[in-house]
Structure formats: C-alpha cells, structure tokens
A = this chain, B = another copy of it.
Amino acid sequence: MKKIFLKDIAAELNLSKTAVSLVLNNRGDENKISKETQKRILDFAQKNNYRPNQMARGLSLGKSETIGLIVPNISDIFYARIAHHIELRAKTLGYNVVFSSSNEDAKMEKELMYSMLNRQVDGLIIASTQKNKDEILKLREANFPFVLIDRHYPDIKTNYVIVDNFGGSKNMTQHLLKNGRRNIGLVSIKSELDAILQRRLGYETALVEEGLEINAGILKELDPFAYKSEMKDAIKDMVSGLTGIDAIVFTTHYLAASGLRELKLLDVKVPSEVAIISFDELGAFDLVDPPISTSKQPVDDIGNLAVEILVNDIEKKNIKIENQSILQTQLLIRKSCGV
C-alpha cells in the first residue's frame, strides 16, 4: 500500500506524465495513444493501486466534484432521508457530498456556506433558514450553482425543489371537515418560513371555504426551540371548555409527536374527542397510538431532483429540467382522524 504518484508510473514506464494522465482520464483514444501503451498504463496503475490525489486534481481542474449540503439538522429524520437520496444520486453522477447542520441559525448557515465555498464545492444544496437573502443573492450574482430545497425565497428567482405546503395543508384540513369536525385547531411554530406560513394559509383557506370563521384562540404558534414546554399549555388551552376543539392540524411531525404526548397525558381520547393530523411523516407514525394521518412529503424526489438540477447547472449541460419544482404531498389517512 505504498503511495504511488503519476510521475512514478510515468518514470517506471518510460513515458511522460501527460500520456499517463490522458490515458487515466479515458482520453487516450481521443489523443491517439496506442492501445498498447494504454494497456500498459492501465495495468500498471491497477496493479500498483494508483489513486489520484483529488486535491491536486481539483486544484488543477478548478473543481472538486463535491457538492455541499446544508440542512437545519441532519438528525431530523426528514432531512436525513433527503440527505440519503441526495447522496445516492450524487454518487451515481460522480459527486461526493459534504454536509453541515445550521441549527436554524442564519449566521451559522452563512458561515457554512462560505466554509463550503472555501472548500471549493462545485455546488450547494440548501434547506435554508430563509434569513440569508443577501447571501443567496450573492451566490446568484456570482453565478454559483445552487438549489434550495424544502424552503425557498419566494421573492428571489432561484432553483428550488419544494412541496405544495398550501395544498397539502388544505387537504388535511378538508379531510377533517369532511369527517364532521367543525372546531379545528392548528398547532404550528412561530416562524417566518414561507413553508410554515403556507401550511397555515392552507388550513385557514379550507376553513373559510367551508364558511367557518378562523378563531385565533385555537391557532397556536410555538417557539421552535421551546415547543416541548409550550405544548402543554397550548393543548390544555385548546381542549378546555372555552374553546373545546374537536381536531388539531399540526404543521410538522415533531409537533404532532409532542402534541399527542400531551393529549395522552391529559387523557384526551384521540380521535374520538380530538382528531389529529400532521404534515410530514415520522417513520413510526403508523405504529403510534393511534396511527397518525399525515401529508407525506416525497423525500426521494426532493433529493433526486435537487441533485439533478444542481449537476445540470454545474456541468452546464442545459438539459431541459424544470428547475423550480413544487412537488405534491400525499395524504395518508390513518386512525388519528377518526374513520
């Protein structure tokens, strides 16, 4: 396992580095290097376990064949799944991926972006905090390839792959209405994320279209970093005699998990007393008691598409790809809604 370099194999074979480099990069034919020479080179490289130094290669080529992935939190099952699909697709296209979590912190996200740029990633996939408009604009101005996933900047034209948050949420709410629920609460997070806003709007629109009023008292927005502690009061408040809700829409999976926990502690029967439904899928939502209905996001498509758009951009292949995709969610009905 002794390290061997390009020049070693050139010397050993009495050839120039050029010839070796060309052949090793599959450009032997195109440069009319004799089949025989090619074979000698390939064999020797193989036998001696030649491994090109990608940093040197990258420096010379001006690219790293690496893409950077920035998500709020890689241990969130939602992002972990997307990451997995990104990784797989990237691999087939010859790219590695480096990842980092921003922890929903705009400043951290900015730092990560630059850290990755320093590392000469060829492109970036970002599930942004949506608070780095300036940096995103700079990326765009610099013509640097990137695609936003999960969250986009509605007023900036960029590549993105998101889901129809409005539609998904409206569907969920309508499903509850269809099942006779009339007093439907919403539990969301305090956030300026467009995705979260859209989910709330979807909920509201469904109610309004049904001729119902929106009741601010049963529309809870919790601190994203303190939702666990705030959930107790929120739920207690909603199920109290005053507001007496009969259903709750949760705008994301961890809220649903936490909310269900509290409902159980308060001995509220789900779904007979209160039906629940949630955006996003937790993976175990079908095992939970009761199994939770959900608007499932197509994580595989999100990941695959993002990589395809990005690589298309990086390699300027100009394949016709819809580079602003809004994917549909899938309504999965389970027991938590009542039959």
A322 contacts chain B at the CB level, 8 A cutoff:
no
CB pair A261–B286 under 8 Å, yes or no, is: yes
Contacts of A83 in B (CB 8 A): 74-75, 80, 99
Find out whether the CB atom of B114 lies under 8 angstroms from the CB atom of A51: yes
**Could you say which of A55, A138, A257, A285 has the most chain B C-beta atoms within 10 Å of its C-beta?**
A55
Most buried by B among A53, A77, A96, A286: A96
Interface residues of A in 87-130 (CB under 8 A from B): 87-88, 91, 96-101, 114-120
**Does B87 contact A74, Cβ atoms closer than 8 Å?**
yes
Is A217 interfacial (CB 8 A cutoff)? no
| A288: interface (CB < 8 Å) | yes
CB distance from A80 to the nearest CB of B (A): 4
A98 to B98, Cβ gap below 8 A? yes
A56 at interface (Cβ–Cβ under 8 A)?
yes
Contact of A77 among B80, B101, B119 (CB under 8 A): B80
> From residue A158, how far is it (CB to closest CB) to chain B in Å?
16
For the complex, is A307 an interface residue (Cβ under 8 Å from B)? no
Count class of interface residues, chain A: 35 or more
Tell me if A30 counts as interface (CB < 8 A to partner B): no
A64 within 8 A of B: yes
26 chain-A/chain-B pairs, Cβ below 8 angstroms: A1-B138, A1-B142, A51-B114, A52-B118, A53-B120, A55-B58, A55-B59, A66-B98, A66-B119, A74-B80, A75-B80, A75-B84, A83-B99, A87-B100, A87-B101, A96-B98, A96-B100, A97-B98, A97-B99, A98-B98, A98-B99, A99-B99, A283-B283, A284-B284, A287-B288, A288-B288
- State the CA gap A1–B115 with chains docked (Å): 15
Could you tell me if B282 and A284 are in contact, using CB atoms closer than 8 angstroms?
Answer: yes
Q: Answer whether residue A223 sits at the interface, using C-beta atoms and an 8 A cutoff.
A: no
